Amino acid sequence: MKLAMKTMLALVLAASVPVAQDAEAGFPGLGAARNPRVEIAWNRLYDFEDIYAHLDRLVAEWPDLLSMQVIGHSVENREMRVYTLNNGATGADTEKPAFWLDGNVHGNEVQGGEGVVYCAWYLLENYGTNERVTELVDRSAFYLLPMQNPDGRSNWFKHAHNAHSSRSGVMPLDRDLDGLADEDGPDDLDGDGSIVQMRKYVPGTGTHRLNRDDPRIMERVPTNERGIRGDWILLGSEGIDNDGDGRINEDSLGGYDMNRAWPSLWFPDHVQFGAGPYPLYWPEARCIARFILDHPNIAGVQSYHNSGGMILRGPGAEVFGPYPRADVSVYDAIGQDGEKMLPFYRYMIIWKDLYSVFGGFVNWTYEGLGIFSFTNEMWASNRNSPDDRVEGGSEGRQWFDDHLLMGAGFVDWHEYDHPLYGKIEIGGFKKDVGRVPPSFLIEEMLHRNAMFVIRHAETMPSVSIAEPVVAELGDGVRTIDVIVSNEKLMPTRSSLAVRDELGAPDLITIEGDGIEVLAGGFRTDRFRPERIDLQDHDPARLIRDEGVGSLEEVRVRWIVRGGGSVTIRVTSEKAQDASRSFEF
Amino acid sequence: MLIPTPMFGVALATLVSATSAPLGDVESLSHARLSEALAAVASEHPDVASLHRVGVSREGRAIEALRLTGTEDPSNHPALLLVANLEGPRVFESGVVLDHARRLANAYESDESVRALLDTTVVWFVPRANPDAAEGRFASPSIERWASSIDVDNDRDGRRGEDGPADVNGDGVVTTMRVLDPEGEWMEDPTDARVLIQADRVKGERGKWRLYPESRDLDGDETFGEDAPRDAQVDRNFASGWEEHVARAGTFPTDEPEARALCEFVMAQKNLALVVVYDGHDNLVEKPKSVADDAAPVKRVPPYGVLESDAELLEEIGREYREQTKNEAKGDGEDAGTFARWCYDHRGLVTLSAVLWNLPDEAPAADEDADAAEGDDGAVTEEAAADEAAPAEEEDDEVSESDAKPSDDAKHLLWIDGAGESWRFVDWTPFDHPELGSVEIGGFAPFARSEPPQDAWTKIADAHFDWFQGLGELLPRIELVECEREKLGTGVWKVTATLTNDAYLPLLSRSMQRTRTTRPAKVSLVLPDGATLLSGNTQELVRDLAGSGGRAEFEWLVHGPDGMELGVSVDSDHAGRAFRKAEVSQ
Ligand SMILES: [Zn+2]
């Protein structure tokens, strides 16, 4: 009943949303919008300009729910935009628990951008018709930054690359210390728009041979004493020695990693490759950090990457030590649901299950700021073939490309006359194979990941104050007992935030012209009201540094003289404030 | 004492005429007057001096750098950077840096060694890296400020900066309050009742006083001075060893604009080869903690310390420093998050830190002009002074005077009393405090522990100037000393070249070889058209070239006509460049 009332109220408040009265329109059970107001093709990848254009269309359609602000500029002066999804009629975004979602910090990991757009689109399209979406949107805010690295994205779209290149930002860096920056990256030698592999035929003196069933596939020849040698050598990515230093492709675009730029457990480049000269060195990372620091209401963070199907949480490095137990329970509950919502994704701890990361983004947001945060590695290539009928490895990839993409993802080996290597062959998979799904699986990836974000966001804390119980002690002195509870999985303050004194403490206050607060504190035993942690100073304003925990009920008792109209208020950085007024 | 030199002309004149108000005499070092003085050096010596901007402080003050060089192309010569006053309270050091710059500029025309230095070197001076905090020295009441910005809720009460230190009794200085309290942890030092020491119950000592910073309790929480309105310190805000979640370290490394500006400044000086810092840290008097060059990482984190190869060089430089300056002042030994540590650990720059003066802990020698007293064992004087100084009237406990050893603060008072520097200690004065009632306010004055007496300024500055002037000899400089070609047969030539570094420091410190932040020297064979390389690389990057005559040899085989022009070039960002034609060897 209460929920229904709330929803009704929200619908009335959100006047701009025409409530879908028409039950005939569309098929709501299919998951996405029944009758979308903004059509976006979800089977495509979009360049930088188009990602913003889609979001701008959403802003134009839902101006009361979505707004845009420019928080900074990239190295190449592209706008860094945060889109705020918030229903102003239910309060300012800064007063609500907020969810931060971003994508594409690695330039080549593009689908995070579409993931952010999908999330915004899904929430907006379903606002007012789907009860849970409506409730979530009304009680929280979303800060959506589709691209942490718009330059890298743009470069990946517009220039020849492979699936792994353009990870960096584009600020020139002299990676090989020869006094020149970015002077020798891979080259699209044959001008076909792809950076693929080089191989050379060297009969009897090579390390590789061609696969017997599929000569497109290179196999390493095992070392053996019979002296069997391969006929081929592999020569790396397409490229020449641009700067004449005797090396090929040794100093390519950028050469740093903006997901190693964050202040928690940050180490410089010689310890953590790509970290830069000091934390938040690049303008993209710095403006994001500033925005997040200016929004202490952010309670949940996800950062979309690709690939490999991983729901990652910290610690990024072993030296951090384990996360506090109570926080791990929250992480586990969300992460384990994620594994079920995202087939072939695994919930993992970064340093232990993947590799060590110093200065990672989600490490900063949790270890530095106490926000429950995940890195989501979108796209598990097992999704191409969910059982073992198509074998894994190169054979499987070629088979999939041949039969489901009509060979569109592979550049067949062809001859090229290389200035150093002479007659060689160039060929291999294109940049859009391997780390992003084929078109017909993109929508599935976007939807499942958006649902995981929503699952995470629904756990954000919500605090309420139960009906106070007033008892007479005589002579106008009374006890007031109040239960403050958090109905959600996520505590108002993570255990880490409490431990490391991050953010502001929660406050539970009582106010009334007719009362004098004689004492107040938190009850420590639900059956014995005399067991109470009294706060000596200013008992009308109780400081609750440990917050209101996961599904916790906090019992407060005040002893007051007098009566009349009284207001009890709970203030919390990461939950909407709650208040209750009553008279006695 | 002393004839005022050009350096502190103004300050000294003030001093001589106003010894009764020594606190006022540093006015020439306020931000405004320091800026004027720097501008004057630049405008009076346009041939060698130029003024540059490092950045702007949080409160909008310019952080300035004065550059001195007589080189035609400064980027072709190594640079040396001298920075002071990152912390705030040590404003005197800014004056020393200004003085160094002014003296070098003045002497450029007349002094051959100064000319030799500036014609081959770029010298940068940043006398005041933290102008906001330094202004505390010139504020009223004057207050030791380290912090310049963020405001942390230190007492976790949901309010920020509500109760900081303040001049409660209006005597113009912010000191300490003491309150008689049976639960107090502090007792009087038996050798000097002005000094409070922590009572040790194990020894049967009882506390008598409770100590608070001079402050009010405006929020009524019965704590005092618990939540100052500023927390982040510039010289804790650099990335090496940054203390996360510690208020003084700031929100994130380089969040303080001064820290970031300095980082950018250092990174922009690609020819930077040596950094010197005059402030509260030291690695010249006390040997810094070192680790083996190849110390194994622990859980993937390399152990921090000066790498042994570099530490050996530092030790030698430190020995020379002590010999020349006679300075024995040590730092606080804590370098987490400091500029100096970042320069060395993350940029590989050899960085020398000096504390120019600390409050002495023995009575001054009787004859002020006798330099010999400096290094003497002060024990005799100390005891004698202790007997005199200990006011026994208030003592009622059983510790006999003769047994008691003076605490560190009591020793400092021996010097203060002996030197007649009474402003450094404010006698305990009763005061009726609005929240605490009857208290006494007093103790060590701000700046008492770090600012040298003005009659010592010139001597300190002189000694350091002489030392600083010699630092040009440390900077790595590469030279091609030999470049020859030898005919092996028709058209086949062996080309050899030798690169040397006659300066004290190696081309790249061990740390710099690790951080890869300054590029190695690049040795290139310059081949004419028609010649082909038979053996060797046209480019070689040289990382490991020792100082003090370190050599590296190169060899190529070239095919080409007899008359061809062959040469070798070397270029670096921070140790010079050279080209040498390969002469036919006999
Ligand atoms: Zn990534």
pLDDT one-digit tens code per residue, A326-379: 999 999 999 999 999 999 999 999 999 999 999 999 999 999 999 999 999 999
Residue A294 forms contact with B (CB below 8 Å) = no
Judging contacts by C-beta atoms under 8 Å, the chain B residues touching residue A267 are 301
Mean pLDDT of chain A, nearest integer: 94
Written as six digits, the tokens of A378 are 């979108």
Tell the CATH topology of B476-584: Immunoglobulin-like (2.60.40)
Within 10 A of A127 (CB to CB), how many other CB atoms are there?
Answer: 22
User: Is residue A508, in this structure, part of any structural domain at all?
Assistant: yes
Does residue A296 register a pLDDT over 50? yes
H-run or E-run covering A306: strand A298-306
Is it the case that residue B44 has pLDDT exceeding 90?
yes
Residues A118 and A230 in one domain: no
Chain B residues within an 8 Å CB radius of A275: none
Closest by CA position to B481, among listed B546, B541, B573, B553: B553
Residues 6 or more apart in contact with residue B291 via CB below 8 angstroms? B303, B304, B305, B306, B307, B308
CB contact under 8 A, A246 and B519: no
Which range of residues forms the domain containing residue A363? Answer: 42-156+256-379+439-458
Segment B304-316 mean pLDDT: 98
The pLDDT score that the predictor gives to residue A2 is 40
Query: Is B516 in Cβ contact with A368 (below 8 Å)?
Result: no
| Range of weakest confidence among A95-99, A394-398, A411-415, B121-125 | A394-398
Q: Report the number of distinct structural domains present in chain A.
A: 3
Give start-end residues of each CATH 3.40.630.10 domain in chain B: 3-137+232-358+454-473
pLDDT over threshold 80, residue B559: yes
CA dihedral A326, A332, A335, A336 (to 10 degrees): -150
Best B152, B300, B543 residue to mutate vs chain A (most A CBs within 10 Å): B300
> CB–CB of A278 and B245 under 8 A?
no
Which helix H or strand E contains A516, and what residues bound it? strand A515-523
Confidence class for position A275, pLDDT limits 50, 70, 90: very high
CB < 8 Å to A539, chain B: none
C-alpha span between A261 and A170 (Å, rounded): 15
Q: A537 to chain B: nearest residue by CA?
A: B221
pLDDT for residue B10 is more than 90: no
Nearest chain A residue to B522, by CA? A178
Intervals of CATH 2.60.40.290 along chain B? 476-584
Q: CB–CB of B220 and A537 under 8 A?
A: yes
**Residue of B227, B244, B509 to mutate when probing chain A, most A C-beta within 10 A:** B244
**Residue B389: per-residue pLDDT:** 44
Region for B310 from its dihedrals, namely left if φ exceeds 0, alpha if ψ lies in -120 to 50, beta otherwise: alpha
pLDDT-derived band at B222 (thresholds 50, 70, 90) equals confident
Of B238, B302, B342, the CB nearest to A271: B302
Same domain, A216 and A273: no
Cα of A168 vs centre of ligand 1, distance in Å, is 10
Q: How confident is the model at residue B371 (pLDDT cuts 50, 70, 90)?
A: very low
The whole-number average pLDDT for the span B261-274 is 98
Q: Is the peptide bond before B141 cis (omega within 30 degrees of 0)?
A: yes
Search chain A and give the residue with CA nearest B519: A177
B379 has pLDDT over 60: no
Contact A152, A168 (CB under 8 A): yes
Q: What is the pLDDT of residue B367?
A: 59
Alpha carbons A440 and A433: distance in angstroms, whole number = 13
The Å distance, Cα B169 to ligand 1 centre, comes to 59
Listed range (A8-12, A295-299, B521-525) with the worst mean pLDDT: A8-12
Residue B300 and residue A317 in contact, taking contact as beta carbons nearer than 8 Å: yes
CA distance A21 to A23: 6
CA B70 – CA A584 distance, rounded (Å):
85
Q: How far is A177 from chain B (nearest CA, A)?
A: 5
pLDDT for res B374: 42
Give pLDDT tens digits for B515-557. Answer: 999 999 999 999 999 999 999 998 999 999 999 999 999 999 9
- Report, as an integer, the average pLDDT of A253-272: 97
Q: Which residues in B lie closer than 8 A to residue A505 (C-beta atoms)?
A: 153, 156-158
Specify the DSSP class assigned to residue B302: P
Q: Is the peptide bond before B215 cis (omega within 30 degrees of 0)?
A: no
Q: Does the structure show a pLDDT above 50 at A433?
A: yes
Cβ pair A269:B515 closer than 8 A: yes
**B436 — pLDDT class (breaks 50, 70, 90):** very high
A263 lies in the same domain as A145: yes
Percentage of chain B lying above the pLDDT 70 cut = 89
- Verify that A85 and A149 share a domain, yes or no: yes
Mean pLDDT value of segment A36-50? 96
Q: Parallel, antiparallel, or unpaired: how do β-strands A422-429 and A410-418 relate?
A: antiparallel
Contact criterion met (CB < 8 Å) for B519 and A502? no
C-beta atoms of B242 and A263 within 8 A: yes
Residues of B with Cβ-Cβ distance to A358 under 8 angstroms: 300
Count CB-CB contacts under 10 A for residue B429: 12
Residue with tokens 């050096």: B41
Q: Are residues A394 and A353 in the same domain?
A: no
* Min Cα separation A257/chain B (Å): 16
Chain A residues touching residue B222 (CB < 8 angstroms)? 536-537
Q: Is residue A168 part of a domain?
A: no
Q: Report the range of poorest mean pLDDT among A38-47, B33-42, B86-95, B145-154.
A: B145-154
Q: With respect to residue A9, please indicate whether it lies within any of the assigned structural domains.
A: no
| pLDDT at residue B177, as a whole number | 96
In a domain, A567, yes or no: yes
- CA distance linking residue A489 with residue B253, whole number of Å: 33
Burial of residue A232 (CB within 10 Å: 0-12, 13-18, 19+) is buried
Are A279 and A370 in a shared domain?
A: yes
Residue B295 with chain A: CB contacts under 8 Å: none
Given its phi and psi angles, is residue B161 left (phi above 0), alpha (psi -120 to 50 degrees) or beta? left
Taking only the tens place, the pLDDT of each residue in A466-490 is 999 999 999 999 999 999 999 999 9
Same structural domain, A152 and A179: no
Residues A127 and A62 in one domain: yes
Residues A238 and A330 in one domain: no
**pLDDT tier for residue B149 given thresholds of 50, 70 and 90:** low
How do residues A159-183 score in pLDDT, each as one tens digit?
999 999 989 999 999 999 999 999 9
Mean pLDDT of the region B379-392: 42
The answer to whether position A14 is within a domain reads no
What is the widest separation between alpha-carbon atoms in chain A? 105
Same domain membership, residue A275 and residue A151:
yes
DSSP A447: H
| CB of B155 less than 8 A from some CB of A | no
What was the pLDDT predicted at A12? 43
For the segment B316-354, what is each residue's pLDDT rounded down to a tens digit? 999 999 999 999 999 988 999 999 999 999 999 999 999
pLDDT of B126: 98
**Strand, coil or helix: A41:** coil
The torsion region of residue B334 among left (phi > 0), alpha (psi -120 to 50) and beta comes to beta
Residues 6 or more apart in contact with residue B218 via CB below 8 angstroms? B162, B163
CATH number of the domain bearing residue A563? 2.60.40.10
Alpha carbon distance B143, B271 (integer Å): 38
Q: Which of A435, A445, A286 is nearest to A361 (CA)?
A: A286
Partner residue facing B537 (CB), from A246, A278, A545: A246
Rounded to whole angstroms, the Cα distance separating A396 from A379 reads: 17
What's the rounded mean pLDDT across residues A270-276? Answer: 97
Q: Do A69 and A102 share a structural domain? A: yes
Q: What is the ipTM of this complex?
A: 0.94
Contact B554, B546 (CB under 8 A): no
What is the CA(A377)–ligand 1 centre distance, in A? 7
Nearest Cα of chain A lies from the Cα of B221 at a distance, in angstroms, of 6
A174 touches chain B (CB under 8 A): yes
B541/A280 Cβ within 8 A: no
Strands B62-68 and B209-213: unpaired
Identify whether residues A270 and A133 lie together within a single domain. yes
Q: Does the structural domain B3-137+232-358+454-473 have CATH classification 3.30.70.100?
A: no
Sheet holding A346-349, edge to edge: A66-73, A79-85, A141-145, A98-103, A298-306, A372-378, A310-313, A346-349
Chain B partners within 8 Å of A263 (Cβ): 242, 244, 252-253
| Amino acid A331: pLDDT | 98
Cβ contacts (< 8 Å) between B345 and chain A: which residues? 268
pLDDT at A23: 52
pLDDT of amino acid B220: 84
| Contact criterion met (CB < 8 Å) for B253 and A278 | yes
Tell me which chain B residues have a C-beta less than 8 angstroms from the C-beta of A270: 514-516
In this structure, of A4-13, A430-439, A538-547, B453-462, the range with the lowest mean pLDDT score is A4-13
Given this model, what pLDDT does residue B223 score?
A: 85
pLDDT band at B231 (very low <50, low <70, confident <90, very high): confident
* Nearest-neighbour CA in chain B from A458: distance (Å): 27
